[in-house]
Amino acid sequence: MTTIYIDGYNTILRCSPFKELCPVDLEGARDMFIDRMARFGASVRERVVIVFDGKNEHGGLPGTVNDKHLDVVFTTDEPSADVYIQRALTRGGGRTEHIVVTGDNALAGAASARGAIAISPEMFMRHVAHAERETARAADTPGRKPHHVRIEDLISSESQSHLLAIKAERSARTSRAQRTEDPSQP
């Protein structure tokens, strides 16, 4: 299963309709985004993790909200949302596919270095809109099941090849490091 990590405030401050609502009702924009991501995660059967820089300003919500396909995390001052996502990618160790949604170049670079696919919030929201249309079409057509579109289907083959090469290199380094730690392994 793919895990999609979303840099929460970075995304809602860049994408419509959330960015228009933020100046007047940040909490409302955040709640609308969380609801939409819950529906999206369920429709594509992927795990979505939204990470907000909380700094104890999350409207009385608990530090973490969990659902079957959605986790919402409000960080404190330390770690920041960026650091939380980087640590989660490191802990993931390549056992699952990871996608990071952010407009922050430093986080995108760190995610790519850890073998994740980094995409912009705008590209991600286009993917969400496409999945929503597909789900609605399937609901309107008796007997038709929704086609689950993967984010990987929306990036160029050149980008996919580059990301797979990074992932293979990272995997080889991890294997070499494990053999160094345990010389009994071939």
Poorest-pLDDT segment among 6-15, 65-74, 96-105, 173-182: 173-182
Residue 166 CA to its chain's centroid (Å)? 19
Please tell me the chain's helix, strand, coil percentages from 3-state DSSP, rounded to the nearest 5: 55, 15, 30
Is the predicted pLDDT of residue 40 greater than 60, yes or no? yes
- pLDDT greater than 60 at residue 39: yes
- Where is 50: in which H helix or E strand? strand 47-53
**pLDDT tens figures, 18-28:** 999 999 998 89
pLDDT average, residue stretch 61-66: 54
Per-residue pLDDT, 136: 76
Residue with tokens 């939380």: 84
Q: Is the pLDDT of residue 60 over 50?
A: no
pLDDT score for 56: 46
What's 104's DSSP letter?
-
Q: Give the separation between CA 12 and CA 31, rounded to whole angstroms.
A: 10
Sheet holding 47-53, edge to edge: 64-66, 70-75, 47-53, 3-7, 98-101, 117-119
**Domain map (residue ranges) of the chain:** 3-155
DSSP SS3 for 80: coil
- pLDDT tens for 129-172 read 988 887 777 666 666 555 555 555 555 566 666 666 666 666 66
Q: Which helix (H) or strand (E) holds 168?
A: helix 157-181
- The 10s digit of each residue's pLDDT in 72-90 is 988 876 788 899 999 999 8
Alpha carbon distance 18, 24 (integer Å): 11
Q: Report whether 95 contacts 87 (CB < 8 A).
A: no
DSSP 8-state secondary structure symbol assigned to residue 147: P
Q: Cα(116)–Cα(10) distance, rounded to whole angstroms?
A: 18
- For the whole model, what pTM was predicted? 0.73
CATH entry 3.40.50 includes domain 3-155: yes
